[in-house]
A and B are shown apart, each in its own frame.
Chain A
Amino acid sequence: DAKTTQPPSMDCAEGRAANLPCNHSTISGNEYVYWYRQIHSQGPQYIIHGLKNNETNEMASLIITEDRKSSTLILPHATLRDTAVYYCISNNFNKFYFGSGTKLNVKP
């Protein structure tokens, strides 16, 4: 099972960019990297995913290194509502393996 490693917590000032790192050094060539977030007591919410190229959508940007061993999720203008646990996940044949994630604290 491909494993991902994330820092347990990060702080970010409201209005600033939040950059959340993830290491996935054992990821195989056909495994996508997905990012989800979970606000307390709710089900995880999909944010973005990618394979090799950088991706952007209305929520965030995903930067994947050329060797695919790590990625960074960027929330360009963090708000207080972005406070959540963020999970970086590798998709191993459609089985998602969540770690403990990064608790992002957005502060006013």
Chain B
Amino acid sequence: DTGVSQDPRHKITKRGQNVTFRCDPISEHNRLYWYRQTLGQGPEFLTYFQNEAQLEKSRLLSDRFSAERPKGSFSTLEIQRTEQGDSAMYLCASSFSENYEQYFGPGTRLTVT
């Protein structure tokens, strides 16, 4: 499968714990995006990378959220000190370049208890 993959697909954690999600983009894609989706809503843009450079992070929901793409390939999204309001689907997408379509992964569903 050469599509975007995300790991894990499901994560249940207790409030206050840290969680990290991984995204592997399509191999030739330079751009990688993170979104959050809550029930009944469309995906909400969080941040994106051009290769290893994080070009936009003002939409990250708080300073508890951080993302990295150290070698310009896979990316991680970390949430520190999780809260129940962080429960959502976290989606990753990649694209070849600017103004090219984004291809989405299956998402990681986070449940904070």
B103 within 8 A of A: yes
Task: Mark the stretch among B40-48, B61-69, B72-80 that contacts chain A.
Answer: B40-48
Q: Which residue of B lies closest to A96 (CB)?
A: B45
A29 within 8 A of B: no
B45 touches A42 (CB 8 A): no
Query: A94-B31, A94-B98 given as contacts; is B103 within 8 A of A100 (CB)?
Result: no
Partner of B101, one of A42, A46, A99, A101: A46
- Size of chain A's interface in residues, with CB distance under 8 A? 20
A108 within 8 A of B: no
Contact pattern, B 98-113, Cβ under 8 Å of A = 1, otherwise 0: 1101111111000000
Min CB distance A54 to B, Å, is 17
Min CB distance A89 to B, Å, is 8
Q: Which residue of B lies closest to A35 (CB)?
A: B101
A46 touches B103 (CB 8 A): yes
In the complex, chain B residues whose CB is within 8 Å of the CB of A101:
42
Partner of A95, one of B41, B59, B107: B59
In the complex, chain B residues whose CB is within 8 Å of the CB of A36:
104
Cα(A96)–Cα(B93), bound, Å? 11
B91 within 8 A of A: yes
Query: A91-B99, A94-B98, A95-B56 given as contacts; is B41 within 8 A of A43 (CB)?
Result: no
Q: Which residue of B lies closest to A47 (CB)?
A: B101
Contact pattern, A 49-63, Cβ under 8 Å of B = 1, otherwise 0: 100000000000000
Min CB distance A53 to B, Å, is 15
Chain B residues within 8 Å of A, Cβ to Cβ: 4, 31, 33, 35, 40-45, 48, 56, 59, 91, 93, 95, 98-99, 101-107
- Which 10 residue pairs spanning A and B have beta carbons closest together? A98-B42, A43-B104, A46-B101, A44-B104, A98-B43, A95-B45, A43-B106, A43-B105, A43-B107, A99-B42
Given A46-B103, A97-B45, 18 additional A-B pairs, CB 8 A: A32-B99, A36-B104, A42-B107, A43-B4, A43-B91, A43-B93, A43-B105, A43-B106, A44-B104, A46-B102, A46-B104, A87-B42, A94-B31, A94-B33, A94-B56, A95-B59, A96-B35, A101-B42
